[in-house]
Chain A
Amino acid sequence: MSGTISVTREESETVINIKGRFNFEMHSQFRAAYQEDTCEGKKGRRFVINLSGTEYIDSSALGMLLLLREEAGTNESDIEITNARPEIQKILETANFQRLFKIT
């Protein structure tokens, strides 16, 4: 049982909403959600990962976030992770992801 992903695109921003369980089974779905925004010449776009409907997150999901960060240009990437519930917030903090992403 895994989650579902929906995407809303605005001019300079892509919002990825993740519902349910964000785990390794979401790999191809998650990648498909941002891939058209990270291909050649499209760097510098803002990404918002909305976790308001996310129930669970595992280490593979953290790995996917790292992959997004790399494909969006690592240090130049502008990625915000938002609305995580407290347990998920704790997982992100344990991994010290606030150093790599904007967590709100």
Chain B
Amino acid sequence: MKILIVDDDRINSAILTRLLGREGHPVVIAHNGEDGVEKFMQEQPDLVLMDIRMPRMDGYDAARKIKESASDRFVPIIFLTAVTDEEGLAQCIDAGGDDFLTKPFNRTILQAKIEAMERIRKLHTELHLKKDQLEQHQDQLQQELEVGKHLFSNIVRAGNLLDAPCLKQWTSPLAQFNGDLLMACYNPAGGLHIMLGDFTGHGLSAAVGALPISEIFYDLTAQGFSIGDLVEKMNAKLLTVMPTRMFCAACLIEVDFRQKSMIIWNGGLPDLCLIDNRGKLAQTIPSDHLPLGITPMTRDDRKVRIFEIQTDHRLFLHSDGLTEAINPADEMFGMARLENFFDGSTPPDQLFDTIMMGLKDFRGVADQTDDISILEIDFSRPNKTWEEDSPQKSTKTIPPAVWDISFLFSAETLKHVDPLPTIINSLMSLQAPLGHREKVYTILAELFSNALDHGLLNLDTKTKKSPEGFILYYAQREERLAALQDGNISLKLSHVPLISEDDNKFGGDILICIEDSGPGFDHANVRSILEGNMAHGGRGIALVRSMCKSLTYNEAGNTATAIYSWTYN
């Protein structure tokens, strides 16, 4: 241990040098404070023995300067003093001294003090090292979190339509990562899929589950799969990847603005609130399923509820972080407090902001305890018109070619599978006309549901006209489909490429021919019945006709033939 002695008394210095030398410590000597500071800088000793009264600079000032220049390095300073009065000793400590040694020097005490300082110095060095390591780890962790956050937001937000005109949303994560997942995306028919998910816990571990879920949400929605299919896929995925004690309470909604209908699957999220045009609670829609990721699904587990929507109504959904938010008195916000907003005293279009303010006032200075999300769907603001047909995400353009595909679906298949995504995806993998996918999907969906609903299930469109009838129609549909024994639907798709002088202009005619084994329609009434469907504001044959080059029925009324022309420059 290299020791610096700062003392103007040469006899003292000599004694100390001899004592320390015997213990094997190399010694450096300075004769006044100024000299001491200088030698300290040059020699970088491990310990300083400091006299107090010296010419040029006294011990206190020298100690201060030494401590200052040592900064992070711990260099113990032991004051050599004749004084033992409290004030003098306090001054030593004040100047940064670590201990004192009273004159005359006692060899044993000196040795003990040096050893004690050595132990402290070692401890200090170790601590310093640990602190550096900790800081490095923290930096690394922070960097990894940043990368994680970047990936997370890109994957989860990919194609997110939360800025769709009908949606108002607010989400407040408790930790850096949000365990609440809020997504929205159009399906190929122009309907809007919306999902609010709430994973067990919060922070990174909760957010990790959001990655596979968001991928399934966007992929399957884009491919035209139904809410039931999405729910089943997500559940299966979470069962394989998540530990038992983690699950995802979720609500999936499909809003079809054209048909004025809404499909809801709610597994474990708090009651949804449907609000009428006076701002009053019209209906609550409670959870009727287990959350995702707990047990394998049965047919009943994927059952959705269908609602007719009124354009002056709106729907509120939230994660339990809202109702379980606490105020400084440790009371919960609760469902009753939320429902109080829906008493008709707040104009419907101000409800969202009023609830947000209400929550803020309620919470006051209390800490947030969970992720909070609130979402409003305003049915008066449909998301887009057909003119704004969004271009396909796929950039692949397949040169138009001649092809022909046909499908035959038996009653047994129709009972268990919705064949539309398969049809549209095989068509798209053959041709993929850019920007036409949604229209082709809609035409197929309309013709297909007419063949099934009216041809095979013999449902009457007129039933749909009243709100009760709307629900009745879908109840009948479900019942008849489950009981369907015979019958089939055959579908033929063929393509004729467009012949053009211009090499840059692509295109062709897609011929869609769909035949059901039902008795057919009263041909004379086909138009009036099916186009009457439009009067309900819904999808219908008139819509198909408006998008197609031609639409014709056979004499019996059980075969429809549509020609859709597409071009791409």
List residues of A whose CB falls within 8 A of some B CB: 24, 56, 58-60, 62-64, 66-67, 70, 87, 90-91, 93-97, 99-100
CA A24 to CA B245, docked complex, whole Å:
11
With a cutoff of 8 Å between Cβ atoms, the chain B residues found around residue A59 in the complex are: 198, 200-201, 247, 249, 320
Interface-forming stretch among B263-271, B372-380, B462-470?
A: B263-271
With a cutoff of 8 Å between Cβ atoms, the chain B residues found around residue A94 in the complex are: 249, 268-271, 286-287
Contact with A along B284-307 (1 / 0, CB 8 A): 001111110011000000000000
B528 within 8 A of A: no
List residues of B whose CB falls within 8 A of some A CB: 198, 200-201, 244-247, 249, 267-271, 286-291, 294-295, 320, 324, 332, 334-335, 370
Beta-carbon contact of A58 and B245 below 8 Å: no
Beta-carbon contact of A100 and B201 below 8 Å: no
With a cutoff of 8 Å between Cβ atoms, the chain A residues found around residue B268 in the complex are: 94-96
With a cutoff of 8 Å between Cβ atoms, the chain A residues found around residue B370 in the complex are: 58
With a cutoff of 8 Å between Cβ atoms, the chain B residues found around residue A93 in the complex are: 286-287
With a cutoff of 8 Å between Cβ atoms, the chain B residues found around residue A67 in the complex are: 244-245
Beta-carbon contact of A60 and B244 below 8 Å: no
**Distance (Å) between the CB of B174 and the closest chain A CB?**
12
Beta-carbon contact of B289 and A60 below 8 Å: no
- Nearest first, the 5 A-B pairs at minimum CB distance are A63-B245, A67-B245, A95-B268, A96-B290, A59-B200
Contacts A56-B332, A59-B198, A60-B245 known; 7 new A-B pairs at CB < 8 A: A59-B200, A62-B200, A66-B247, A94-B270, A96-B287, A100-B290, A100-B295
Find A24's partner among B201, B247, B289, B335 (CB 8 Å cutoff): B201
Q: Between A and B, how many residue pairs show CB distances below 8 Å? A: 59
CA A62 to CA B293, docked complex, whole Å:
13
Nearest CB in chain B to that of A75: its residue: B295
CA A56 to CA B334, docked complex, whole Å:
12
CA A94 to CA B370, docked complex, whole Å:
18
With a cutoff of 8 Å between Cβ atoms, the chain B residues found around residue A100 in the complex are: 290, 294-295
CA A58 to CA B370, docked complex, whole Å:
10
**Distance (Å) between the CB of B336 and the closest chain A CB?**
10
CA A100 to CA B247, docked complex, whole Å:
14
CA A93 to CA B284, docked complex, whole Å:
15
CA A87 to CA B332, docked complex, whole Å:
11
Beta-carbon contact of A58 and B287 below 8 Å: no
Beta-carbon contact of A95 and B291 below 8 Å: yes
With a cutoff of 8 Å between Cβ atoms, the chain A residues found around residue B246 in the complex are: 63
Beta-carbon contact of B198 and A96 below 8 Å: no
**Distance (Å) between the CB of A32 and the closest chain B CB?**
15
CA A66 to CA B290, docked complex, whole Å:
12
11 A–B contact pairs at CB < 8 A?
Answer: A59-B200, A59-B201, A59-B249, A59-B320, A63-B246, A66-B244, A66-B245, A96-B267, A96-B290, A97-B290, A99-B290
With a cutoff of 8 Å between Cβ atoms, the chain A residues found around residue B291 in the complex are: 95-96
CA A64 to CA B269, docked complex, whole Å:
18
**Distance (Å) between the CB of B369 and the closest chain A CB?**
8
With a cutoff of 8 Å between Cβ atoms, the chain B residues found around residue A64 in the complex are: 245
CA A59 to CA B324, docked complex, whole Å:
11
With a cutoff of 8 Å between Cβ atoms, the chain B residues found around residue A58 in the complex are: 324, 370
CA A60 to CA B200, docked complex, whole Å:
6
With a cutoff of 8 Å between Cβ atoms, the chain A residues found around residue B247 in the complex are: 59, 62-63, 66
Contacts A66-B244, A66-B245; is A96 near B288 (CB within 8 Å)? yes
Nearest CB in chain A to that of B246: its residue: A63
CA A50 to CA B232, docked complex, whole Å:
33
Nearest CB in chain B to that of A90: its residue: B335
